[in-house]
Amino acid sequence: MTVDKQQILDALKTVIDSESGQDILSLGYVTGLVIKNGHIGFSLELPDAEKASRSEPLRARAEQVVKAIPGVLSSTVVLTAERPQGSTPAAARPALPLRCRENRVQSPRLPWKGSRM
User: pLDDT per residue over 101-115, tens digit each?
Assistant: 444 445 455 555 555
User: pLDDT per residue over 5-37, tens digit each?
Assistant: 999 999 999 999 999 999 999 999 999 999 999
pTM of this structure: 0.68
Is residue 27 assigned to a domain? yes
Torsion angle, alpha carbons of 27, 47, 55, 23, to 10: 0
Distance between start and end Cα atoms, the chain: 55
User: pLDDT per residue over 54-84, tens digit each?
Assistant: 999 999 999 999 999 999 999 999 999 875 5
Cα gap 60→65, rounded to integer Å: 9
The residue type at 66: V
67 within 8 A of 74, measured Cβ to Cβ: yes
When divided into structural domains, the chain yields a total of 1
Is residue 38 assigned to a domain? yes
Is residue 50 assigned to a domain? yes
- Per-residue DSSP letter, 47: S
Cα gap 107→36, rounded to integer Å: 38
The residue segments making up the domain with residue 28 are 5-83
Is residue 108 assigned to a domain? no
Cα gap 24→40, rounded to integer Å: 17
Is residue 112 assigned to a domain? no
Is residue 63 assigned to a domain? yes
More confident residue, 45 or 90: 45
Is residue 98 assigned to a domain? no
What CATH number is attached to the domain comprising 54?
Answer: 3.30.300.130
